[in-house]
Amino acid sequence: MRALVLAALAASIAHASAEEAFVTNQLSDDLMVVDLATARAVATIPIGGKPAGVAVSADGRFAYVTSPDAKAVTVVDAATRQVAGRIEVGGGPLGIAVAPDGKTVYVADWYAAAVRVIDVATRSVTASIAVGASPSGLAVTPDGRWLLSADRDDDSLSVVDTATRERKASIKVGTRPFGVTIDVEGKRAYTANVGSNDVSVIDIAGGGEIARVPVGMRPYAVALAQGRGFVTDQYGGTVSVFDLATLKPVKRITVGDYPEGIAATVDGKRIIVANWESNTLHIIDAAELKVVGEVKTGDGPRAFGAFLRRTE
C-alpha cells in the first residue's frame, strides 16, 4: 500500500515544471538541493554560519546564501553544487535578493538597519543603503528599478531606488513585517506581518498600503500563484490561502510544524513549503489546495527567499 501511495505522489509531482529547491538548513549548517520532479534530495552542500536566507539568480547559475553567524554570503554554483566563493558582509545578514539582470545582490543587515549592495562581478560590497530597523525580507521589482525591504521593527516597508541607491519611501504596514513578495507585474507587494497576523497589500507605484488580509498565527512569507496568495503560518502549522482579486480568505492547508520559507514553481502549479520543526519540505497542488508530496530535509529548514531554480 505504501508503495502505491508513493508512486501516486511521484506521478502527481512529476507533472510539475523541471525545478530544484535550494533549501537552507540552519541547524545542520548546509544547503540541500531537492529535485522537485522526483521529490528527492540530490545534493547537500556544507555552508556554515547558520544559513538562513537564499536567493537563486534568474539565470539559475548561482545560489546566494546568507549566514548570520558567519557574517557572510556564500556563493554556490547551482550546476556543480560547489561553493564558488564567500563574501564578508559584516553585521547580521538575513534576507537576500538578486537583481533581475544578475549583476547585483542585495543583503539585509538585521543589526545595522541597512541593505548591503554586492557587485557580482567583483564579489565585493560596494555600497550600503539605510533602511528601517531590523530589515528582513527583500524583493526586487521585475524591471529592477525598485528594491523593497521589510523592516520588521519599524512596522514598515522601505522602497529603494536601485539606480541612486537611496530610500525613496517608507510605507507603514502591519506589525513586524518579515517576508515580502512582489507580483509578476511589479504592481503590488505583499508583506507577511508576524505581529498582527495579517498580510499587507501594497500599491508600489502609489506608495501606500491598500488592504490587509487576515491569515494564521505568525505569518512568515508569501507566495503567489493562480490568482491566490499562499502564506506560511509559523504557529499554526498551516498555509493560509487568499484570493488576490477579492482579498478574501479561501482555505488553510495543514502542513508541517513551524512552516517558514514558501515559493511557487514558475508554472504556478506547485507551492513549496519549508517546515522548520518537522525538517520537511511540503509540496502543495496550487489548484487542488492540498499537499501532494513531502521531502525530508536537514535540520531546521528555513529557505527564506527565492529558493527555486528552473532547470530547463
Q: Are 300 and 279 in contact (CB under 8 A)?
A: yes
pTM: 0.94
Sign of CA dihedral 14, 17, 18, 20: negative
% of the chain residues with pLDDT over 90: 94
Architecture per CATH, 2-310: 7 Propeller (2.130)
Q: What is the pLDDT of residue 17?
A: 60
Angle at 160 between CA 154 and CA 165, to 5 degrees: 125
Chain segment 150-173, per-residue pLDDT in tens: 999 999 999 999 999 999 999 999
C-alpha distance from residue 62 to each of 34, 219, 234, 239 (Å): 15, 28, 28, 28
Q: What is the pLDDT of residue 312?
A: 78
Chain segment 44-78, per-residue pLDDT in tens: 999 999 999 999 999 999 999 999 999 999 999 99
How far apart (Å, rounded) are the C-alpha atoms in residues 91 and 105? 16
Chain segment 197-246, per-residue pLDDT in tens: 999 999 999 999 999 999 999 999 999 999 999 999 999 999 999 999 99
Helix (H, G, I), strand (E, B) or coil at 218: coil
Q: Are strands 104-109 and 93-98 parallel, antiparallel or unpaired?
A: antiparallel
Element (H, E) at 10: helix 2-14
Sign of CA dihedral 279, 242, 225, 156: negative
The domain ranges of the chain are: 2-310
With the CA atoms of 165, 83, 259 and 201 taken in that order, what torsion angle do they form, in degrees rounded to the nearest 10? 20
